[in-house]
Structure 1
């Protein structure tokens, strides 16, 4: 069973807000007594027969003024059908920033309910700024909301002038149009909202399964409300260094792609791939991909989506997306094959088919959340000259990502909200109720970054390393050992005595 460490200090309050540029003293959010959370009014929703319910949770726009303007968060749950087996509530916390908890519960809830045998009510919510919750809008031009522009891919020759101009333009538009709701999009507020939801549910403690960015949110909740946690699963964690946070996560993507690409290369060189086989040997796939990306930098080819061409950066972004899951390898190989076809430029029937994420711009509200949280959480360091130098070095060290992870973003020019707070440092203080699980070859949160989360948590956590590739582990990649270890922890509290590995 889970053992607990005693600690002399339990962080019952939220961290003190660091007020930047305020003219008058302001009451920190941590000093405000929490206002009551009204009970939730549940109605049936979701796929028929799934037993899903939905509600709206009211939370303060600004926790320093709990009686002030309120916003609404979309909440959903699947209740346990076995009252005799129920032990509490398990929160599903999505990744992102920008992931929808409502969608995640709809997709994963039935499988999780089956795994846990009715031990939990399964609950999730759309964080502020996401899905059915109150949202922000920066009014960005459509061209600035494409995946390959929200991600700062340098020009074909490595120049970043266009990235600099776009980042400045995006930051200025968000400062002009985003308002108080955009300023409130922070990890700290998501953690506060999570605890308010706990109180609305009438729960003394919460269990949680957080994935990717959601793992960081869950870890922050465990740090700020250790006495409110039961069993916490951190799936695919990133480096929690409070000085870097999202800037460090972006930099890590270069290593993540290098760690993961050999899995795609081995798949694409396998003799059973038929018409999708890219090379006879895995070691030949990488030079083939890099040569094709360089050619598309010079000579883009039209895709089946009108007005959208496949250039080198579109191909590179498609690869980043595909590395998340083995299930996307076939569509990536098909895209490469089509882009190689000499007839692609002249015969519309031979044009490459792009994945949906690359066929058009994100919605403006979706774009706002993707930049809002990462820029509000911590000030990004570096001058424009620093980014030019970093991109040049990163392009040489990691050609698969061509300098994008080291490039400038709107955060460099971001107007820091008056309510800005320093990110909370994760420590080993608190109960030993955390289980981490991490793929060995993760393109977004590399295993080496997960080890930094593990080190920060000390004896509070145990780490299960799964010898697989991809992003997202539990109930995600078919590893029976990893799934069984997490399920056993959720049901019994039992963790491995020490960090362990699943083959």
Structure 2
């Protein structure tokens, strides 16, 4: 899931950044220079350094309070061939990339690590940057509450009640900062980070929601972009934004469940569920319906039972990565016997509260959501018929149905204006960011972009769930700037 707040005429009335006009806007004060120190978090590469940079909470108000953005880096491994800095832009909203220079950044080929300082960051609102917290009831932090899974009969009444509770808590406890968390402001913050790094231009590898952040950055600050990789791409429709991404789950599940069903019906699979893929699907639907009627106690899970929606949520998260198929199969096998698998580990409540608050701020500030339960009910009823695996959830009401901050800045419209320096990489079967949405981003970017479609399954393509062909093309682009002359398909 993924989004933009207030700052009404800011794009048109942008100020100067370090004396250089920029369409994204900023206050006139120059940004901090980064004071790098050793990172204190455990398990990091000893070369990783950490710093913070100050940014205005409200870019439309030069006197607004300062927000601190936490930044990390591992410097280029070969300074003589260093090109610049590569931003590792995380998914979310509610993700950060502070540990990524030590983590996935080390999977980058040597020529790429030689060419760039690898830069991670925690977006505004995410600890250890200046953080927000809505103080939600712990019961409302469960995934089947945070995502709008409807009641067994399809009713969205309880979803609307959850939305109201969550909205009231965020309005009460989120403070002023939550009103200024948005994709456009994250992009503006990244330009302040770029300036603090002392870079005239910056490269980026954005993943999932990070593709939208990176696309918005490329729209607001096209003259500041070097080489931009968008990996697992969101539909940039400015009229829907997160609402469109949530709805895309119904398509993403239908694109991906057949791969799970083939795996789960394969002879010799120790987690085999049925003899044929069709039987895997029908069996899943029957089991979910049975658990809707007769949930199983599941201590240690939030909520503490395995009902139909918990099974559907387990299915959804397991389809992100084929390596997680056994988790779903084990849950199904246990539930068939009237038992449950061991409870999965959950992050600390403080982390869940922080992630939820950042997500609320982003998705509710980026675009308007309808406030009428009837609108959602009509869409949910239709979705349940057409996409039974997701039971209507992708069309349901999230917290934004009951929370709106005004005035809201219009969502950034992605266009083809700017340098031709963007490479999209997209798996053909991706549950969270389906190919259909990636094609819309590709069309919006026009001549600025080339897209590599990868014959692979799972979310996150480059150096993860893609294939060697796609990885090779992206690595060459980052290291040398060479892209294919047109869109390509990697078998």
Tell me, yes or no, whether TM beats 0.5: yes
8 Å Cα contact 1:175-1:415 kept in structure 2: no
Q: What residue in structure 1 maps to residue 288 of structure 2?
A: 293
Deviates more, 1:432-441 or 1:100-109: 100-109
Q: What residue in structure 1 maps to residue 20 of structure 2?
A: none
Give TM-score scaled by structure 2 length. Answer: 0.92
Q: Secondary structure of 1:436's partner?
A: strand
Q: What CA deviation, in whole Å up to 9, does each residue of 1:277-316 have, x standing for no partner?
A: 1111122111111111111111111225277111110010
Work out whether 1:421 is the aligned partner of 2:409: yes
Q: What CA deviation, in whole Å up to 9, does each residue of 1:302-335 have, x standing for no partner?
A: 2252771111100100111000001101111111
Q: What residue in structure 2 maps to residue 36 of structure 1?
A: 30
CA–CA separation in structure 2 for the residues paired with 1:313 and 1:143: 15
CA–CA separation in structure 1 for the residues paired with 2:310 and 2:348: 10
CA–CA separation in structure 1 for the residues paired with 2:299 and 2:402: 36
Work out whether 1:284 is the aligned partner of 2:279: yes
Deviates more, 1:171-180 or 1:259-268: 171-180
Q: 2:139 aligns with which of 136, 143, 148?
A: 143
CA–CA separation in structure 1 for the residues paired with 2:211 and 2:411: 15
Q: Secondary structure of 1:195's partner?
A: helix
CA–CA separation in structure 1 for the residues paired with 2:113 and 2:357: 38
Q: What residue in structure 2 maps to residue 380 of structure 1?
A: 369
8 Å Cα contact 1:314-1:358 kept in structure 2: no
Q: What residue in structure 1 maps to residue 442 of structure 2?
A: 454
Q: Secondary structure of 2:102's partner?
A: helix
Q: What residue in structure 1 maps to residue 388 of structure 2?
A: 399
CA–CA separation in structure 1 for the residues paired with 2:466 and 2:247: 28
8 Å Cα contact 2:460-2:466 kept in structure 1: no
Q: What residue in structure 1 maps to residue 352 of structure 2?
A: 363
Q: Secondary structure of 1:91's partner?
A: strand
What does 1:324-363 correspond to in 2, within 5 Å? 324-342=320-338, 344=339, 351-357=340-346, 363=352
CA–CA separation in structure 2 for the residues paired with 1:359 and 1:40: 30
**Which runs of no fewer than 5 residues in structure 1 stay unpaired?**
1-13, 21-26, 345-350
Give TM-score scaled by structure 1 length. Answer: 0.90
CA–CA separation in structure 1 for the residues paired with 2:6 and 2:295: 51
Q: What residue in structure 1 maps to residue 68 of structure 2?
A: 72
Q: What CA deviation, in whole Å up to 9, does each residue of 1:419-470 have, x standing for no partner?
A: x210111111110000001111110111011000000000100010001111
Q: Secondary structure of 1:169's partner?
A: helix
Q: Secondary structure of 1:439's partner?
A: strand
Q: 1:173 aligns with which of 162, 169, 174?
A: 169
CA–CA separation in structure 2 for the residues paired with 1:288 and 1:361: 37
Q: 2:222 aligns with which of 222, 226, 250?
A: 226
Q: Secondary structure of 1:163's partner?
A: helix
Q: What residue in structure 2 maps to residue 412 of structure 1?
A: 401
Shift of 1:357: 4.8
CA–CA separation in structure 1 for the residues paired with 2:84 and 2:241: 31
CA–CA separation in structure 2 for the residues paired with 1:406 and 1:366: 22
Q: What residue in structure 2 maps to residue 475 of structure 1?
A: 463
Q: What residue in structure 2 maps to residue 187 of structure 1?
A: 183
Shift in CA distance, 381/255, structure 1 to aligned 2, threshold 3 Å: same
Q: What residue in structure 2 maps to residue 18 of structure 1?
A: 8
CA–CA separation in structure 1 for the residues paired with 2:25 and 2:185: 15
CA–CA separation in structure 1 for the residues paired with 2:363 and 2:282: 34
Q: Secondary structure of 2:81's partner?
A: coil
Shift of 1:63: 1.3
Q: Secondary structure of 2:388's partner?
A: coil
Q: CA RMSD in A?
A: 2.3
